A and B are shown apart, each in its own frame.
Chain A
Amino acid sequence: MPLVNGGKIADDSFVKLAVDTPLPESGDILVPAERFVGEAEVLLKRAGRVGVIWPNSRDIDELVPYLGKVAAVALVFPTFRDGRAYSQARLLRERYNYRGELRATGQILRDQFVFMLRAGFDSFEVKKQADAEAFMQTAKRYSVFYQPTGDGRITALHRRMQLRHSEGVGT
């Protein structure tokens, strides 16, 4: 599954561990929430970065104490029609100021990129190679946004205000 990070197809430095996979000595690891919460101290002490895979049904508040220490949070879209992780992403970015890698995993298609970027995702495990290749083009599909989110894009309402004020100058 290709990874898009920073807008480009990239190599994935993280190795995904299952609940019972032996811990590798070094390297970046992505750990299921359940294991992460149970072994956080050990995991965070070892060399290499640690990321956590957080299910969309688990309260994100439980992750908050660790946010300063994890290098990546992977949120899960078991199917692309299940949108719970959008809310989790916005909470992480906007309420808890999480600034590390925020990865979308599961069934990720190009048709969700704009929504995901706006919700704060910056990394995507994309299901289809063609979709990964179309990332930049698809991400730029929209230039108008009606809602304010943590991505800071100006909304239509406020763009109108700006236009109105700039038109007002000198009259």
Chain B
Amino acid sequence: MAQLDTREKLAILADAAKYDASCASSGTAKRSSAGETSGIGSTEGMGICHAYAPDGRCISLLKILLTNSCIFDCHYCINRKSSNVRRARFTAEEVVNLTLAFYRRNYIEGLFLSSGIIRSSNYTMEQIVEVARSLREDHGFRGYIHLKTIPDADPELIHQAGLHADRISINVELPTEQGLKRLAPEKSVEGIAGAMGDIKAAIEDKTDAKRRFKSAPRFAPAGQSTQMIVGADSANDGEIVTRASGLYDRFKLRRVYYSAFSPIPDASAILPLQRPPLMREHRLYQSDWLMRFYGFAPKEVVAATGADGMLPLDIDPKMAWALKFRENFPVDVNRASKEMLLRVPGLGIKAVNAILLSRRWRTLRLDDIARLTVSVARLRPFITAADWTPGGLIDRVDLKARIAPPAKQMELFAA
């Protein structure tokens, strides 16, 4: 194989990483370089998206693979052994230098490093850890580091990773066990769960990390996350939501990412031909929010799915729930509890808090609500205010048609 230069490798190894949905760089401990004489970087609590790609995704971290060679043959993965893609491999040093050079120019918040498995799980994990170690110890890097760990690697290596990284993640890959068996025969549900359990334990027992060296973040202060591929196995939305909530509970995850399966070049023959609608991924994220921030129980989200177990694509899951359980509405904005206000379609957390504060001051009218929200027309049927009751609106069969946004045209792009 001819020698590739850094840019050629970067093109291959970033391309191979783009199917990973996660790019978050928030939620970690605050660090700063002010007053320091060496090293570089800071974390501010809230992550920064330094650019957006035309796919609408945030570019916050340098997201690359160390190598896209792999000894495994997972069918949904472009890097699987039997795929024909061009292979490349970075040295640990190349990744370190690239990260620092990008960081100095304010292109990125840090590094998200993952890898295909070469030689063995342990060998690969050692290389990943070495990149993070060098960044932290040799270069005093205080930016964000997210490491994807290899499920079968030695727990000690995963522990090392956690000492350097802000976040670690292990992909559960597929929502169902049968799906994993069929599409990723070399991976095991137990192996993945075991590693996630270890990480959870280590995060909870974070004390000794501080003793090892001073610039270390505590053990993965931004926690652990995982990713599920949607649409490559048979799981419907109800099953996915249930699975995700189980993961949150068992492993104290910060996030479950959903990645709509994209047909990949050189796809394996046993994969679905069609990608699931991107809107499906979006609806799953929305349902995730409902559970994490809006007080919805997983079974309530499941109850919002249709007879086919899927969340509707044309309306958001909160609206779907409201339309299905109309007996809970209208909600009186001047009296209702926070919990009930949060159930009103179109009312976000900020708006609910503003309503709760403002109503100590005035009896809210529809105009007031309009000022506090994005679109009062959408939520009108679900509330009563001082000068407004929806009357029979809430019981109308065509309610959905009246509030669902009209299908949007693709916008033409003029540069």
Q: Do A and B bind each other?
A: no
Residues of B in contact with A (beta carbons under 8 Å apart): none
